[in-house]
Chain A
């Protein structure tokens, strides 16, 4: 285990390893996304209350789930880079931030579109939507902070501190927004509570969640590889690799 982690920190080894992973993960991710989307859009039965508009759930929920998990991945990478000063962890964190921001934005946009046929309005200050919006700000803060620093090593460490502070804060934010919402719940808009979901709807959802996790891993890896090639353009191992191809 430790040797594996140690190897992960070595750029040439990581580049080779991630190359193999990407080769497999790219077709798997695209396949899962297409199968899941087709299943959710065409095969799954419609919801008896919301009709066909509920089919947005197959992208909305996975995006939201992975966006939140992505913040923890980013913060974990930040902690690793702060404590052990592993350069690869910096690169991971830096790659995860924009991907997470895009997924959060996707969850918000699809939520808004879903809201129109369901609640009759594009935007509601619902607890979950508001929390997602705050998560988006947290992501954008990390991205903006990284861009603002001139020294990129310092930038990565600053982002690590910020994302760790954000991690401690996220559960508090979610809980407080929840309480805030339950106090102010408007009477005119009724939300469907958590109801048991039928397995014919659940399986495609689980498939799409898996697909989005793969997508997150894949995009982070691709970004890391691009970053790695540039950072090590003078390095011997990469020069030899380029010569071989």
Chain B
């Protein structure tokens, strides 16, 4: 551990703003980049589940169509 206190970590001898801003602007897009495909896959998955349920609940309709 290089820093003595939490405020020193935050301040970083006057460079804190730049350092923390760049880390925030990196980790935010990274988090979004990971979350978006996971969400997309879950949505597709749920769509398929719903589709299957629809097909199962109305087999007669499906036949007649």
Residues from chain B with a CB closer than 8 A to the CB of A116 are 18
The chain A residue with its CB closest to the CB of B20 is: A41
Are B9 and A113 in contact (CB-based, < 8 A)?
A: no
Q: What is the bound-complex CA distance between A42 and B49, given in angstroms?
A: 47
What number of A-B contacts does a CB cutoff of 8 Å give? 103
Q: What is the bound-complex CA distance between A53 and B49, given in angstroms?
A: 50
What interface size band does chain A fall in?
A: 35 or more
Report the minimal beta-carbon distance from A124 to chain B, rounded to whole angstroms. 15
Q: How many residues of B contact A (CB 8 A)?
A: 32
At the interface with chain B, which of A129-137, A145-153, A168-176, A215-223? A215-223
Report the minimal beta-carbon distance from A151 to chain B, rounded to whole angstroms. 21
Q: What is the bound-complex CA distance between A98 and B13, given in angstroms?
A: 36
Are A52 and B12 in contact (CB-based, < 8 A)?
A: yes
Residues from chain A with a CB closer than 8 A to the CB of B52 are 239, 242-243
Residues from chain A with a CB closer than 8 A to the CB of B18 are 53, 56, 113-114, 116-117
Are B22 and A109 in contact (CB-based, < 8 A)?
A: yes
Are B41 and A46 in contact (CB-based, < 8 A)?
A: no
Interface check A51, CB cutoff 8 A? yes
Q: What is the bound-complex CA distance between A70 and B22, given in angstroms?
A: 21
Say which residue of A33, A110, A219 sits within 8 Å of B37 (CB atoms).
A219
> Can you list 13 A-B pairs, Cβ within 8 angstroms, ordered by A?
A33-B30, A42-B3, A44-B2, A55-B19, A59-B23, A60-B22, A102-B33, A106-B29, A215-B34, A218-B34, A222-B38, A229-B48, A243-B52
Given pairs A113-B25, A116-B18, 8 additional interface contacts (CB within 8 A) = A42-B3, A51-B12, A102-B33, A109-B25, A218-B34, A222-B38, A233-B48, A242-B49
A interface residues (Cβ-Cβ under 8 A, vs B) = 26, 33, 37, 41-46, 51-53, 55-56, 59-60, 63, 99, 102, 105-106, 109-110, 113-114, 116-117, 215, 218-219, 222-223, 225-226, 229-230, 233, 238-239, 242-243
